[in-house]
């Protein structure tokens, strides 16, 4: 089945700096790559996604890029704010299901 | 929140007892999922359903069973709970109107097995 690896596991940045989280996947048939944000004690929330026919997608301060040839995709957060502090999960579609990375704990230092 | 609720939200039980967790949705989505979340493992799929009485196993299905007798309810049963099943359990739905696997999660159930 699909295997998704996510790096780094923890990331600390100063407020206002950028943060980048990277994921790789194994199944070349995967065609959908969502990102979830999970605050402490809360449910994972879908924040942005990208489909295999697109190379980049932006939504305000967040963007995702996809390199199908290399089978990796990344989440970019610019002008980070304290409320961006959370655990972020990437995922990839394999068959009918989503396979998740192990998460990145982002801490934004005021 | 995509109209998803889970019950109970917290449960403490003893090893060897059966436990059933309920996921309820109000929007008639066909696909429903059960995940467990553990530190260092992210979210791992236990079972999923693609319609009433239609279910299939995920990557960590041992020790778990599911049932879906109505579109709106998806039940997860731990036949005989073990300490290794202490976890946070999330239910999710896949939006029917999307051709991609957009999933939205319920609030979670924290289960402790003593």
Span B73-88, pLDDT tens digits: 999 999 999 999 999 9
Span A53-96, pLDDT tens digits: 889 999 999 999 999 999 999 999 999 999 999 999 999 996 67
Q: What is the dihedral angle through the alpha carbons of A73, A78, A82, A87, rounded to the nearest 10 degrees?
A: 0
Instruction: Provide, as residue numbers in chain A, all residues whose Cβ is less than 8 Å from the Cβ of B100.
Output: 31-32, 49, 51, 93
The rounded distance, in Å, linking the Cα atoms of A16 and A18 is 7
pLDDT grade for B40, boundaries at 50, 70 and 90:
confident
The helix/strand count (H/E) of chain A reads as 0, 11
DSSP state of A44: -
Cite the beta strand spans of B2-98 per DSSP E.
4-7, 10-13, 19-25, 31-38, 42-51, 54-57, 64-70, 73-78, 87-94
Three-state secondary structure call for residue B72: coil
A83 φ/ψ angles, rounded to the nearest 5 degrees: -70, -5
Query: For A97, which of B48, B104, B106 is closest by C-beta distance?
Result: B48
**Per the CB < 8 Å rule, is B106 touching A43?**
yes
Contact between B66 and B77 under an 8 Å Cβ cutoff? The reply is yes
Residues of B with CB under 8 A from a CB of A: 1, 31, 33, 40-45, 48, 50, 58-59, 90, 100-108
Query: For B105, which of A6, A31, A43 is closest by C-beta distance?
Result: A43
Distance, CA of B81 to chain centre:
15
Interchain CB contact of A100 with B (< 8 Å):
yes
The rounded distance, in Å, linking the Cα atoms of A24 and A5 is 5
Span B7-30, pLDDT tens digits: 999 999 999 999 999 999 999 999
pLDDT grade for A107, boundaries at 50, 70 and 90:
very high
Give the least confident one: A16-20, A52-56, B35-39. A52-56
Instruction: Provide, as residue numbers in chain A, all residues whose Cβ is less than 8 Å from the Cβ of B40.
Output: 102
pLDDT of residue B1: 67
pLDDT of residue A1: 75
Interchain CB contact of A103 with B (< 8 Å):
yes
> What percent of chain B stands above pLDDT 90?
85
pLDDT grade for A21, boundaries at 50, 70 and 90:
very high
Count Cβ neighbours within 10 Å for each residue of A68-106 and write b for 16 or more, e otherwise. Answer: eeebbbbbbbeebeeebbbbbbbbbbbeebbbbbbbbeb
Interchain CB contact of A107 with B (< 8 Å):
no
């Amino acid at each position: 089945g699909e295997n998704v690896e996510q790096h780094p596991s923890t990331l600390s940045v100063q407020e206002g700096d950028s943060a980048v989280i990277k994921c790789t996947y194994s199944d070349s048939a995967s065609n959908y790559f969502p990102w979830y944000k999970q605050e402490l004690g809360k449910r994972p929330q879908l924040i942005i996604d990208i489909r295999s026919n697109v190379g980049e997608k932006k939504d305000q301060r967040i963007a995702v890029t996809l390199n199908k040839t290399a089978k990796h995709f990344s989440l970019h957060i610019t002008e980070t704010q304290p409320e961006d502090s959370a655990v972020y999960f990437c995922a990839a579609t394999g068959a009918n299901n989503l396979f998740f990375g192990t998460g990145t704990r982002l801490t934004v230092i005021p | 929140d995509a109209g998803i609720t889970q019950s109970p939200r917290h449960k403490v039980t003893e090893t060897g007892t059966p436990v059933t967790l309920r996921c309820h949705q109000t929007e008639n989505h066909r696909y429903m999922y059960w995940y467990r979340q553990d530190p260092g493992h992210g979210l791992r799929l236990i079972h999923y359903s693609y319609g009433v009485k239609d279910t299939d196993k995920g990557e960590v299905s041992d020790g778990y069973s599911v049932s879906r007798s109505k579109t709106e309810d998806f039940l997860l049963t731990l036949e005989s709970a073990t300490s290794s099943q202490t976890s946070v359990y999330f239910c999710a739905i896949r939006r029917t109107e999307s051709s991609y696997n957009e999933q939205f999660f319920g609030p979670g159930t924290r289960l402790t097995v003593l």
